Amino acid sequence: MQLASNPVLRHFAHIAKASVLAAAVLCAGVANAQYQKGPDPTVATLERDGSFAIRTTTVSRLSASGFGGGTIYYPTATGSYGVIAVSPGFTAYQSSISWIGSRLASHGFVVITIDTNSTSDQPDSRARQLKAALDKVVSNASSRTNVLYGKVDSSRMAVAGHSMGGGGSLAAVRDYPQLKAAVPLAPWHSTKNFSTVRAPTLIIGADGDSVASVSTHSIPFYNSIPSSTPKGYLVSTTKTTSSRRTAASTAWSAST
């Protein structure tokens, strides 16, 4: 489902842009006091782009291995940064998630937004593609002739995604325990049990999503993750009042 073509998901993206996604990754284990880049995060700073100037470089489909190519967003300042791979949802392209790349990179991360091998790829395939994309970024950063040289901390990798891409991010932290965090956005997956997930995970659901409904996807996913794993659940709700769509974040629960 294309993010831009669905009013519920457009609205959901607006909420995520406001602060949630950046806050989630900053707090979920990819960043901590030891590795912090830039100023302390606040609600005000996370509601807009961060303090880092960024640039982009592309990974063509032909040069990609295991995924369909992508765009890498990275801070121009010297230093090494945690790296995040982000997958779009079913039938969507990386253009639907490009805002995630620029927003997170501006807060001090290297981010790759990917195209999948096929827009109909299922979540487990997307999980493998997210890992392949992370490996590509790490490989590029090891080359002295690459613009990413020295900018990637391969010990701090995370994943995110929307819809089937969100399900893919859950599958990725299940299958690749070296990953440090996951932020699934309105995730969809036919599997409901993620009891082996140990990486900090924030699931963000949208109650108006008729495809990845919170009752059959986000909530079961959240409940299946052990209480010993740092986890959180946020749901955005939509209301129609005088023909205007308004929204609020209505639930947040986390175990620490």
pLDDT in tens, 209-244: 888 889 999 999 999 999 999 998 888 765 433 322
The string of DSSP letters for 28-86 reads TTS--TTT--SSPP-HHHHTS--S--EEEEEE-TTT-SSS--EEEEEESSSS-EEEEEE
Please give the tally of structural domains in the chain.
1
Rounded distance, CA 5 to CA 204, Å?
19
pTM equals 0.84
**Averaged confidence pLDDT in the chain:** 82
Residue 42 pLDDT: 75
Given a cut of 70, the residues of the chain with pLDDT beneath it are 1-34, 237-256
pLDDT given for residue 187 in this prediction: 95
Domain of residue 41, CATH code: 3.40.50.1820
Range of the domain at 80: 3-255
pLDDT tens sequence across 59-93 = 999 999 999 999 999 999 999 999 999 999 999 99
